[in-house]
Amino acid sequence: MKIRREELNEKEQNAAQKMLDEVGSRYRSFNDYVAFRDDDSIAMMVFKLFLRFVGIIFMLLLSPFILIGLLVAIAAVA
């Protein structure tokens, strides 16, 4: 069973859109912080590369919990 955004009521759509906007904003700010710039030193580039690697690992570690949470939410709705 797929849940489409148009099937959600207005309150749920607003909450989902608010969450997506917040997550997108946080990701953009993180991505802007770890972006390489022309005036970065070698040490800063290595640090930003390390932060990007940690961010990827963090997202991979969270993904099973997010999937489990989505499955529980879908099971509760169904």
| Per-residue pLDDT reduced to its tens digit, 34-77 | 999 999 999 999 999 999 999 889 888 888 887 788 788 888 88
Tally the domains of the chain: 1
Give the domain extent around 31. 5-77
Between CA 70 and CA 73 the distance in angstroms is 5
Residue 52: per-residue pLDDT:
93
Residue that the structure tokens 């969450």 belong to: 19
CA angle 55, 56, 61 (to 5 degrees): 95
Inform me whether the pLDDT recorded for 1 exceeds 60.
no
Where does the pLDDT of residue 27 fall: very low under 50, low under 70, confident under 90, or very high at 90 and above? confident
pTM value > 0.75? no
Cβ-proximal residues to 5 (8 Å cutoff; 6+ apart), any chain: 13, 16
Instruction: Enumerate residues 6+ apart whose C-beta is below 8 A from 13.
Output: 5
